Amino acid sequence: MRVMILVTHLLGTGHLSRALTLGRAFGGNGHDTHVVSGGVPVENLSEDGITLHQLPPVKSDGVNFTTLLTEQGAVADGDYLARRKAALLFCLEQIEPDVIITELYPFGRRVLKGEFQALLNRAQEATDPPLVFSSIRDILAPPSKPQKALETEAVAAVYYDGVLVHSDAEITPLEASWPVGAMLADKLQYTGYVAPPAAGGHPNGTGAGEVLVTAGGGSVGQNLFEAAVKAAALDPENRWRLLVGGADKERVIRDLQDMVQGSNVIVEPTRPDFRQMLTGAKIAVCMCGYNTAMDLLQSRIPAVFVPFDAGGEVEQTLRAESLAKQTGFTVVRAADATPEVLVAAVQDLSGAEVQPLDPKQFQGATQAVEIVEQFYEKQKVRSKAHE
């Protein structure tokens, strides 16, 4: 199969990371796989086994997801968005996919509806239309109005063959964050969690026994990092390591290093060996994006979740509260994340054990490939029957 995965990350890097993991699974199973990215290019993400196509990139204006900016920070005007749409349709023409997977849309990214709909319409007009799937994480941002859910169902009914839900239906059903009607329920295909293979220990022991603080790969989390630097000064028995991401990470790192008061703090950029470091860490202090949650569940390291909730975001809070029902995890609201509270939470979790999950639950990418392959084989059988 020729597979085309379309993804645009606007703030953090989780959407792109998950799309690449899915793409590598298709590529690893012998499929000609193309990931079309519409967000700002990101370092330290593997493109093995896939062809990556970069659209003119956009990003959000902080947590204002209705205003799109170019990589340089200018407003992405109509002409810029038209160039993106033309580039996307050119990719469609060149790839001629058998399968299209849209990451998050139509459940999100409605600010980019024009280009998504142009792609779906052009694909539907093809002589041999491709299969179309949506790829969504375990928890979505709930629709702010009932009409948005109805519009999503309408798009899914017309254009989509299935919805790949990267979750466990028994642990986190889609209904936990999104209304599911009868039509949509028939399209849901639960894959399990999408995650890379579990990381082994770090070959150099980097991160062993440390408190690892991360806010993912995006330009968020400065308040968390500042509280963590001050928390380390109150916790001299532990070494705290802060991993800072985002386009402005060099400035943020300098500012944080100026705040350091003791010798038990390391402030550095995000690292490609983070997952190996996590395996040997004592505790993580982190936000609760999808990929971070998967890393923690696989590593079985206790964690203090400080979920991202700026701009009315609730996704990470819902996920954190769900995970905190297990031992080894606790939730601290961002507004409550003072240095004293972080230290107390770390001390309370010292020595806690995280309940292991079946490794098969993390094979969502492989399971997604199998689901799409089954749809594709059925389509070929139907096509032959009509010849």
Which residue ranges make up each domain of the chain?
2-192+363-385, 211-357
Report which residue type is found at 204. N
Question: Which architecture characterizes domain 211-357 according to CATH?
Answer: 3-Layer(aba) Sandwich (3.40)
Q: 384 pLDDT band (50/70/90 cuts)?
A: low
Give yes or no for a contact between 33 and 27, defined as CB atoms under 8 angstroms apart. yes
Average pLDDT, the chain: 92
Rounded to 10 degrees, the C-alpha dihedral 205/211/215/219 comes to -80
Residue 315 CA: distances (Å) to CA of 142, 178, 360? 8, 11, 24
Give the global pTM: 0.83
Q: What is the pLDDT of residue 387?
A: 59
Tell me the three state secondary structure of residue 363.
strand
Q: 217 pLDDT band (50/70/90 cuts)?
A: low
Give yes or no for a contact between 129 and 377, defined as CB atoms under 8 angstroms apart. no
Kindly tell me if the per-residue pLDDT of 46 is higher than 80.
no
CATH 3.40.50.2000 matches 2-192+363-385: yes
Kindly tell me if the per-residue pLDDT of 382 is higher than 80.
no
Token digits of residue 160? 């989509």
State percent of the chain over pLDDT 90. Answer: 74
Q: What is the pLDDT of residue 227?
A: 96
318: left (phi over 0), alpha (psi -120 to 50) or beta: alpha
Q: What is the pLDDT of residues 287-304, one digit of tens each?
A: 998 989 999 999 999 999
Q: What is the pLDDT of residue 237?
A: 94
For residue 106, say if its preceding peptide bond is cis, omega within 30 degrees of 0.
Answer: yes
The total of other beta-carbon atoms located within 10 Å of residue 246's CB is 22
Please compute the mean of the pLDDT values over residues 253-273 and round it to a whole number.
93
- When mean pLDDT is compared across 21-30, 213-222, 356-365, the lowest value belongs to 213-222
Give yes or no for a contact between 291 and 195, defined as CB atoms under 8 angstroms apart. yes
Please compute the mean of the pLDDT values over residues 77-98 and round it to a whole number.
96
The pair phi, psi for residue 259, each rounded to 5°, is: -90, -15
> 2-192+363-385 and 211-357 share one CATH topology?
yes
HSE-CB of 221 using CA atoms within 13 angstroms: 32
